[in-house]
Amino acid sequence: MTNIVVLVKQVPDTNAKIVFNGESVDLSAVKMVTSPYDEFAIETALQHKESSGGTVTALTVGGSGADKILKDAKAMGVDNIVRVWGDGFETLDSNSFQSVLSGVLSELGADVVYCGKSSADLGSGSTGPGVAEKLGWASVSNIVSASFGDGLTVTAPADGGNAVVNVSLPAIISCDKGDLKPRKPNVRGIMMAKKAQVDVREASAPASTVTLVSQTPPPAKPAGKTYEGGQSAAEVAKLLRDEANVL
Amino acid sequence: MEKFEGLDFYDIESLLTEEEIMIRDMVRDYVDEEVIPHIEKACEDGVFLDKWRQDLGEMGVLGAPLKGYGCPGLSYVAYGLICQELERGDSGLRSFASVQGSLAMYPIWDFGSEEQKNHYLPKMASGEWVGCFGLTEPDYGSNPGGMVTKAEDMGDHYLLNGAKMWITNGTIADVAVVWAKLDGVIKGFIVEKGDEGFTAPEMKGKHSLKASVTSELVFQDCKIPKDRILPGVKGLRGPFSCLNNARYGISWGALGAAMACFHSAKTYTLSRIQFDHPIASYQLIQNKLAWMLREITKGQLLAYHLGKKKDDGTWFNEQISLAKMNNVDIALEIARMSRDMHGANGVLDEYPVMRHMANLESVKTYEGTHDIHNLILGRYITGIQAFTREA
Ligand SMILES: Cc1cc2nc3c(=O)[nH]c(=O)nc-3n(C[C@H](O)[C@H](O)[C@H](O)COP(=O)(O)OP(=O)(O)OC[C@H]3O[C@@H](n4cnc5c(N)ncnc54)[C@H](O)[C@@H]3O)c2cc1C
């Protein structure tokens, strides 16, 4: 029985308009969703279970608001849903966050862990390799496909081509988009999710070693220029060559 | 166009259960991904994609409020939200789901024998079998009680003769629930594709609901086994109780079409510049947008409250008539207004508005025309029926 765990994170909907309140990002009115790459991780985890048996546990670090994405994962078909929270977790840095996760993963007895290659909000991409480092596990990042026949074999881009890697467990695998299509929930899954209990666990984190100083919005894009008609073609070509450097 | 994020001015979402929200979002995402990108082509080809049948079955939304026999047993509010999101895509999808769930599965579920329920419902809930509902005839539309299709008891089987017209899903149906007179009394019969003497030619040439199949059902000495009669009902109560459920779903569905038209009008008028400013900055346009928001919001409150009454069993027929009539009426008006606000672009298939407008003309007519619902309410208010001169 393979104990499969998938890490999921709640992030602002990628379609949402982000409001900046002067010092930091204001998320109070934003719809929160599962980070898109995590959906590929869930799909890979479910396929792993379907091909070689086992259980899939979705794990998130977050407040009670994050129960929603766990229920969404349950509706897609995971077996268990676990949420971890503790004092001061609002401001965890990547390093302390990875310590928390590695503690819980040991507690859960995970054999293999899937996660998204990076989260849609912070996008640092450090979780998979960072946790693997703390646990001393194998780690492959940015995989685009996986097969589970004879051990775990994954494909990840490498040096302009693809590397096919056979991974010994325990391992942490971070998932890119690949050609997977994350499955959609159905009514039966949603009704199971409604009944499911979130397993809430307390944890403590090591003191943070970094401090967030401030956030700033990206610089506004300069206004675009419009050219109409065939007579402007020469000028457009010149600008594309000299200013945009794309020709 | 900017992604549709729902229109919920009065925060009706706060009244929904977690399950209802998840189901709505599931259908909403599905419609954005699998319906809207293909709908114009399906309309052009005049087809209902078979993939949609399979997907709706796999999602588990067919026969949503029915319990048991493989049906999900969701709340009527959840069923309404499903209709809303499907019709935001196209009335043809909602029509398919209404006919399957409320008009074909429901009578078997409510009036069928145990054997009939076990035999038909699980396969209809999964979408494997498509159902249709044959009530309207060439000469009997608003007045179905006058129907001439008849069934005769031949001892070891029934013989059906007659014709039905305007039957949604007819040609693609595996199972037809057909209303016919047996010794002068209306009874329901289950006719299967391939039954001797039964054909279902498609009616072509619709300018509305182009992505929905509409057919004739023709019975010429059609022989059906004795166990295909619905034992639990006789008279117009049978078809009318099906229509009540479908009409309820339409009251939500029409709002979905209205929301799509509002969304398109808002997005378009904010970006369309005339006389140096976005047309949305002009008062006449804002007045139209405000009117649309107002009517959709009222319609939502009506549909939601009726849904709660359906769920606790305290509704009555005339409440459904009012909701169907009102919400289709405002949706059609919103579609026409939105079409106008898009100017010439409003007649193109690049925008959904003219398609919704044309669809809603059918929705206004089927399931009791707008005026038939006025007559139902008129009778409720005055106690005097005005359907016919004869009392
Ligand atoms: C796309 C489509 C799909 C359909 N699908 C189905 C289906 O699946 N199954 C099914 O059984 N039927 C179906 N119908 C048929 C639909 O239910 C009928 O068209 C509807 O009941 C109206 O009947 P009619 O068309 O014969 O109009 P009529 O009854 O002839 O009405 C014509 C006009 O006269 C008005 N009118 C009628 N009687 C009165 C009165 N007493 N006083 C004042 N005004 C009156 C009506 O309001 C209407 O404006 C469908 C129709 C369409 C367009």
**Structural domains of chain A, ranges and CATH numbers in brackets:** 3-212 (3.40.50.620)
Smallest CA–CA distance from B62 into chain A, residue: A187
Smallest CA–CA distance from B25 into chain A, residue: A185
A97 to A4, A101, A102, A116, B29: CA distances (angstroms): 20, 6, 9, 15, 32
DSSP string, A7-31: E--EEE-TTSPPEE-SSSEE-TTSP
Measured over the CA atoms of residue B123, residue B127, residue B128 and residue B134, the dihedral's sign is positive
Is residue B265 a contact partner of residue B338, using CB atoms and an 8 Å limit? yes
In this predicted structure, the answer to whether residue B1 has a pLDDT above a threshold of 70 is no
Query: What span, in angstroms and rounded, lies between the C-alpha atoms of A154 and A165?
Result: 5
| B74 contact residues in A (CB cutoff 8 A) | 187
In this predicted structure, the answer to whether residue B286 has a pLDDT above a threshold of 70 is yes
What is the rounded (10 degree) CA torsion for B248, B123, B48, B64? Answer: 20
Q: What are phi and psi of B390, to 5 degrees?
A: -80, 135
Which residues have CB under 6 Å of ligand 1? B 99, 133-136, 141-142, 166-168, 209, 214, 362, 365-366, 369, 371-372, 375, 387
Task: Kindly state whether B11 is in contact with chain A, defined as any CB-CB distance less than 8 angstroms.
Answer: no
Query: What span, in angstroms and rounded, lies between the C-alpha atoms of B187 and B174?
Result: 20
Q: Which helix (H) or strand (E) holds A67?
A: helix A67-76
Q: Which residues of B participate in catalysis according to the annotation?
A: 367
State residue A31's pLDDT score: 83
Query: What span, in angstroms and rounded, lies between the C-alpha atoms of B120 and B107?
Result: 11
Smallest CA–CA distance from B57 into chain A, residue: A186
Collapsing DSSP to helix, strand or coil, A60 comes out as strand
Q: Which residues of B266-278 are buried (b: 16+ CB within 10 A; e: fewer)?
A: bebbeebeeeeee
For chains A and B, what is the number of CB pairs under 8 angstroms? 40
| B22 contact residues in A (CB cutoff 8 A) | 71-72, 75, 185, 190, 193-194
Task: Kindly state whether A169 is in contact with chain B, defined as any CB-CB distance less than 8 angstroms.
Answer: no
| Stretch B320-344: mean pLDDT | 98
- Residues of chain A with pLDDT below 70 are none
Closest-lying ligand 1 atom to the alpha carbon of residue B206: 1
Smallest CA–CA distance from A191 into chain B, residue: B19
Lookup: tokens for A41: 């991780």
How many other CB atoms sit within 10 Å of the CB of residue B32?
A: 15
Is residue A85 a contact partner of residue A65, using CB atoms and an 8 Å limit? no
Say which of A15, A187, A193 has its CB closest to residue B61.
A187
Q: What is the pLDDT of residues B350-385, one digit of tens each?
A: 999 999 999 999 999 999 999 999 999 999 999 999
**CB-count exposure of residue B177 (10 Å: 0-12, 13-18, 19+):** buried
**Nearest CA to A94 among A217, A201, A218, A212?**
A212
| A34 contact residues in B (CB cutoff 8 A) | none
Closest-lying ligand 1 atom to the alpha carbon of residue B140: 26
ipTM: 0.85
Q: What is the pLDDT of residues B127-182, one digit of tens each?
A: 999 999 999 999 999 999 999 999 999 999 999 999 999 999 999 999 999 999 99
Smallest CA–CA distance from A14 into chain B, residue: B3
State residue A126's pLDDT score: 83
Lookup: tokens for B170: 């007819």
Query: What span, in angstroms and rounded, lies between the C-alpha atoms of B259 and B240?
Result: 29
Task: Kindly state whether A190 is in contact with chain B, defined as any CB-CB distance less than 8 angstroms.
Answer: yes
- Chain A 73-92, CB below 8 Å of chain B: which residues? 75
State residue B258's pLDDT score: 98
Distance B180 CA to ligand 1 centre (A): 18
Lookup: tokens for B41: 């082509």
Query: What span, in angstroms and rounded, lies between the C-alpha atoms of B211 and B96?
Result: 10
| B3 contact residues in A (CB cutoff 8 A) | 15
| Stretch B220-233: mean pLDDT | 97
Task: Kindly state whether B23 is in contact with chain A, defined as any CB-CB distance less than 8 angstroms.
Answer: yes
Task: Kindly state whether B202 is in contact with chain A, defined as any CB-CB distance less than 8 angstroms.
Answer: no
Sequence-distant (6+) residues with CB within 8 A of A187 are: B23, B26, B59, B60, B61, B64, B72, B74
| A184 contact residues in B (CB cutoff 8 A) | 26, 29-30, 59
Distance B141 CA to ligand 1 centre (A): 5
| Stretch B85-103: mean pLDDT | 98
Distance B376 CA to ligand 1 centre (A): 15
| A186 contact residues in B (CB cutoff 8 A) | 26, 58-60
Query: What span, in angstroms and rounded, lies between the C-alpha atoms of A217 and B65?
Result: 47
Distance B377 CA to ligand 1 centre (A): 17
Distance B356 CA to ligand 1 centre (A): 19
Contact at CB, B19 and A190, closer than 8 angstroms: yes
| Stretch B240-267: mean pLDDT | 97
Distance B162 CA to ligand 1 centre (A): 18
State residue A229's pLDDT score: 83
Sequence-distant (6+) residues with CB within 8 A of A177 are: A37, A40, A144
Contact at CB, B26 and A190, closer than 8 angstroms: yes
Contact at CB, A187 and B3, closer than 8 angstroms: no
Contact at CB, A193 and B22, closer than 8 angstroms: yes
Task: Kindly state whether A191 is in contact with chain B, defined as any CB-CB distance less than 8 angstroms.
Answer: yes
Q: What is the pLDDT of residues B8-53, one digit of tens each?
A: 999 999 999 999 999 999 999 999 999 999 999 999 999 999 999 9
Alpha carbon B361 to its chain centroid, in Å, reads 13
From A17's Cα to the closest Cα of chain B, the distance in A is 11
Lookup: tokens for A67: 């129960």
Q: What is the pLDDT of residues B167-222, one digit of tens each?
A: 999 999 999 999 999 999 999 999 999 999 999 999 999 999 999 999 999 999 99
Collapsing DSSP to helix, strand or coil, A125 comes out as coil
Contact at CB, B22 and A190, closer than 8 angstroms: yes
What percent of chain A has pLDDT above 70? 100
How many other CB atoms sit within 10 Å of the CB of residue B41?
A: 12
Q: What is the pLDDT of residues B80-90, one digit of tens each?
A: 999 999 999 99
Give the mean pLDDT of chain B: 97
From A138's Cα to the closest Cα of chain B, the distance in A is 36
Query: What span, in angstroms and rounded, lies between the C-alpha atoms of B96 and B101?
Result: 8
Mutation site, B5, B8, B11, B19, interface A, largest A CB count within 10 A: B19
Contact at CB, A187 and B23, closer than 8 angstroms: yes
Contact at CB, A15 and B3, closer than 8 angstroms: yes
Is residue A5 a contact partner of residue A105, using CB atoms and an 8 Å limit? yes
Q: What are phi and psi of A167, to 5 degrees?
A: -110, 135
